[in-house]
Amino acid sequence: MAKMKAAMAAVLVMEKEGVSQAFGVPGAAINPLYAQMRERGTMAHILARHVEGASHMAEGYTRAAAGNIGVCIGTSGPAGTDMITGLYSAQADSIAILCITGQAPRARLHKEDFQAVDIAAIAKPVTKWATTVMEPAQVPRAFQQAFHLMRSGRPGPVLIDLPFDVQMAEIEFDIDTYEPLPVYKPAASRKQIEKALEMLNAAERPLIVAGGGIINADASELLVQFAEITGIPVIPTLMGWGAIPDDHPLMAGMCGLQTSHRYGNASMLASDFVIGIGNRWANRHTGSPEVYCKGRQFIHIDIEPTQIGRVFAPDYGIVSDARAALALLVELAGEWKAAGRLRKRAGWAGECAARKSSVVFLRKTHFDTVPMKPQRVYQCMNNAFGKDTTYVSTIGLSQIAGAQFLHVYHPRHWINCGQAGPLGWTIPAALGVCAADPTRKVVALSGDYDFQFMLEELAVGAQFKLPYIHVVVNNSYLGLIRQAQRGFSMDYCVQLGFDNINTPEEDGTRSYGVDHGKVVEGLGCKALRVHRQEELAPAIAQARAWMEEFRVPVLIEVMLERVTNIAMGTEIDNVMEFEETAQVRADAPTAVGMLD
């Protein structure tokens, strides 16, 4: 046993639990913890410019690699409340992050002390656990419980609030004998998987819907094995994108109202059976259950018991970690195939693959107009960025079109805030990904409004040498909201362009408003502006050179036409295609071989 400050015990527990990186903003009430972090010197720290930014950096860090847990730190008052959006985002997408806040001394909590707020109560609805530790001796066990909860069952965020005097108090603690608590993850039984295979085997046209739980469970290889053994095509959700490579012959495309492929929706509508693994039937994926479920049966496998039947009642439900379920599915399907019990799927798989390469199901991208259309921007990005690229994005027409046109080939190479979708998320999340893996080739994608929300965090990339490319498609509009306002016959409070007195109009007709390049350069980064499609590849080459030379984020701002409506709809059978198909794109992933 050793005597130490409770704050030091917290630092030692985090070390034992594998934490080596934190993001945050020091403040008076959390300085005792920072003092112990400084004394130990084992945990790197990145100083955010906004505490919400720190929470999104922690999210990006966790999402970047299996086993990571991002940590964000600040005071309980404005810092804690600023981090609520990050906690909500993490909870919604099943992302484990630890938020640590410093609180006023215990004796002053009820006296409306400076920056004192009941942050645990505020955070409770958007965390797996939120607690204010009132006894110093409980600090190490609170942190032990936090890591246990974050990793067990459905992953998610935890907030620990530490009063100033609790951090400063001396306690007895033996870190040498400390052990993390065993992680609990439910696992499917052999009998359950046998029933699932029997139901699948009876289907004529089955699909696998692969959710983000597969990526969280680091089970993407098992998913691909299961699909290949059974010959069943895979529809990834937005959070599961990358679990099977886009160019795999059994990757049937994404389904949904917005972030979907025409061929993915068509294959879903043609199916008669769906097995969902690690997904939550999000409404942007399903539309109404009446349309989505009509004419097909469902199996739902998810780690969280309360997810089974939440959106609609499946024909069969299994509570299981995705990795455990897929391991058994692979094992039993292999046995059935060897015994000649598995139904052959070459015809159905071939039908789904044919849609992927058919001009009927591909959206037009080859536009040569100036200002550019976003579709052409994504075609250029597909041609310029390799299969090892990691894309980071959050919300808006930029993200929706990106999901429709870009390609992802590996798990954790599409880092996306799925349910919450807060504007401003992209920059700090991209920085968190870079901090997790400095060798990662990161490309962030934003509209101009998302980019403006947390623009100040680019200074973090400059200060801590976190280089990445940030593509901003700029139409000086809240594009998604403008498109939604069509239903109200208005275009109201969504225009971002204005006559910037410091920036002359570039095209003789209008000003784009904010000069993002000047702001970015003022924050210590580099910036380029592109007007034509032939300028984009040279701009990307220049951005790569600057990243190598200066080790800072580089903005590539692509100036778009003001109004481009992106395909979306109210149901998966009622998606409005504003730009009809025209040609088979050179960058479209092919689907050949492995269908037998």
Q: Which of 11, 13, 19, 25 is catalytic?
A: 25
Note if 207 is an active site residue: no
What per-residue confidence (pLDDT) applies to 580?
A: 57
Kindly report which listed range (21-30, 187-196, 360-369) carries the lowest average pLDDT score. 360-369
Instruction: Let me know how many helices (H) and strands (E) the chain has, helices first.
Output: 24, 21
Catalytic residue among 269, 308, 481, 496: 481
- Kindly state the DSSP code that residue 181 receives in the 8-state scheme: P
Q: Are 2-177 and 364-566 in the same CATH fold? A: yes
* pLDDT at position 582: 46
- CB hemisphere CA count around 588 (13 angstroms): 26
Q: Choose among 267, 192, 196: nearest CA to 230.
A: 196
Q: Which band of pLDDT confidence, cut at 50, 70 and 90, is reported for residue 398?
A: confident
The residue-averaged pLDDT of 576-583 equals 66
* Residue 526 confidence (pLDDT) above 80: yes
pTM of this structure: 0.93
pLDDT tens digits along 274-293: 999 999 999 899 999 999 99
User: Residue 584: is its pLDDT beyond 60?
Assistant: no
Tens digits of residue pLDDT in 350-366: 999 999 888 777 888 88
Domain ranges for the chain, please list them: 2-177, 190-358, 364-566
Q: Which two tokens stand for residue 355?
A: 């849609």
Confidence category of residue 488, pLDDT binned at 50, 70, 90: confident
Average pLDDT score over residue span 486-498? 80
What distance in Å separates the CA atoms of residue 198 and residue 192, rounded to the nearest whole number? Answer: 10
Check residue 497 and give its pLDDT.
79
Using a 10 angstrom Cβ sphere, with 0-12 exposed, 13-18 middle and 19 or more buried, the burial of residue 527 is buried
Task: Supply the pLDDT for residue 594.
Answer: 31
Mean of pLDDT values over 118-134? 96
- Model confidence at 506, pLDDT cuts 50, 70, 90, reads low
What's the chain's average pLDDT? 91
Q: Give dist(CA 370, CA 533) in Å, integer.
A: 8
> What Rg value do the Cα atoms of the chain yield, rounded?
25
Spot the catalytic one: 197, 209, 244, 423: 423
- Selected from 3.20.20.70, 3.30.70.270, 3.65.10.10, 3.40.50.1220, the CATH number assigned to the domain covering 190-358 reads 3.40.50.1220
Return the minimum-mean-pLDDT range out of 301-310, 408-417, 491-500, 585-594: 585-594
408 is catalytic: no
- Give me the residue label for tokens 């160019």: 247
pLDDT of residue 166: 97
Regarding the domain delimited by 364-566, which CATH topology (the fold level of the hierarchy) does it fall under? Rossmann fold (3.40.50)
Query: What pLDDT, on a 0 to 100 scale, did the predictor assign at position 91?
Result: 96
Are the C-beta atoms of 432 and 64 separated by less than 8 Å? Answer: yes
Confidence at 590, pLDDT banded by 50, 70, 90: very low
| Catalytic residue selected from 51, 208, 209, 415 | 51
Nearest residue to 375 via CA among 132, 180, 591, 558: 558
Nearest residue to 397 via CA among 492, 497, 481? 481
Catalytic-residue membership of 119: no
Classify residue 489 as exposed, middle or buried by CB count within 10 Å of its CB (0-12, 13-18, 19+): exposed
Percent of the chain with pLDDT over 70: 95
Question: pLDDT, tens digit, for every residue of 222-262?
Answer: 999 999 999 999 999 999 999 999 999 999 999 999 999 99
- Beta pairing partners, 44: 21
pLDDT value for 509:
41
Lowest mean pLDDT segment, chosen from 343-352, 484-493, 576-585: 576-585
pLDDT at 512 over 80: no
Active-site residue, from 171, 478, 520, 560:
478
Which is more confident, 479 or 399? 399
493 Cβ neighbours under 8 A, 6+ residues apart = none
Confidence of residue 187 (pLDDT cuts 50, 70, 90): very high
Higher pLDDT, 500 or 524: 524
Q: What is the mean predicted confidence (pLDDT) over 550-562?
A: 94
Crossing angle of helices 322-338 and 220-230, rounded to 10° = 30
Residue 511, pLDDT above cutoff 70 = no
- State yes or no: cis peptide before 157, omega within 30 of 0: no
H/E segment holding residue 265 = helix 262-270
494 is catalytic: no
pLDDT of residue 577: 87
Average pLDDT over residues 120-125: 96
What is the reported pLDDT for 116? 80
CATH class of 2-177: alpha beta
Residue 288 pLDDT: 94
- Kindly tell me if the per-residue pLDDT of 593 is higher than 80: no
Indicate if 423 belongs to the active site.
yes
Work out the pLDDT band at 410, boundaries 50, 70, 90: very high
Structure-block tokens of residue 81: 């409340």
Name the band, by pLDDT with cuts 50, 70 and 90, for residue 495.
confident
* 494 or 535, higher pLDDT: 535
